[in-house]
Amino acid sequence: MSRLIAFALVPIGSGCGEQPTAELEADPAPIALIRPENWRATSPDEDPLAEHRPDPLPCEPGAWREELGGTELDTGRCGYLSLSQPSAATVEAGDLVELAVWWQDLASLEPARGHLAVLAGTELLWEEYVDIPSPADIREVAFRVDRPIPAGTPITLHLHNHGANTWHFHHLLVTPESPLP
């Protein structure tokens, strides 16, 4: 019996021929550009959308916090938030950037619009205006960047809205452009 197994393995082992010389590369894994615990409020001088900023800016402690692997934003405590942190990684031109954000039912006594935006330095990467009142919703957005964003570039999360609402910014990821066609 052992001779039969040895005999059966020889043709399999010797019949493989030469291996291809090109190595297959795995798809690159997404890299987090931000970390929920690293957000800090921007000063008026650092805010890339300062023209939207109310004066004075009355905000209570706890207007944002880390929750469910992302950042919860409570506009009942602060109707205007501009949070920033340095990009944790470099983004090259052509890389895929992905973000996820959601909100609970948005309420207001008078019709209004919420404004969400993500910026790298002063460059707008993504924005959306959301009618208020509005039902709960989620956005999962992916886009390619057309110019490099060096690690350490300020990433700013902007939100303003009328009314006491809850928004959740979950992630901002970069997937390096795959070298494969």
| Domains of the chain by start residue, with CATH | 30-175 (2.60.120.260)
> Assign residue 69 a region: left if phi > 0, alpha if psi is -120 to 50, beta otherwise?
left
Which region among 2-6, 33-37, 42-46, 87-91 has the lowest average model confidence (pLDDT)?
Answer: 2-6
pLDDT-derived band at 18 (thresholds 50, 70, 90) equals low
Average pLDDT of the chain, as a whole number: 87
CA 62 to chain centre: 22
pLDDT tens, position by position, 54-71: 988 888 889 999 999 999
